[in-house]
Amino acid sequence: MKEILNVILEYIISYALVFLLYYLLFIRKKTKYNKNKIPVEYYYLVSLYNLNQKDINYKNFMYLSGLVNTFIIVTTYMVVFKLLDKWFWQLICGIIIIILLIIICYGIIGRYYQKKQSKEKRK
């Protein structure tokens, strides 16, 4: 039981530190809309889910993508370094986990924005 609590505590601390670092390096500089500095995640969601760029609050999207990217980074770190010993398996599993988490998490965000747009069109 104590090991589980240690892992959860390490996850929470890692999440907070990585989000703080991600905020300072990426989010803080990009919260104002600049057509030349839009992140790839934004274009990915807009093109894949046929979203209207005007309906997406850019500042909220940046914070949401920061939370999701931090989740992806920390979850991959915890799974790879806590469960696997050999560096080759860590690398292979890390790449697979990152790809799967990106597809799943940004798929959820894309569907969220699709539902939000469909509700706004009904009004």
pLDDT digits (tens, 9 = 90+) for 70-86: 999 999 999 999 888 89
Mean pLDDT of the chain: 90
Spell out the domain ranges in the chain: 2-117
The pTM assigned to this predicted structure is: 0.88
Nearest to 66 by CA among 10, 3, 33, 22: 22
Question: How crowded is residue 113: how many other Cβ atoms within 10 Å of its Cβ?
Answer: 20
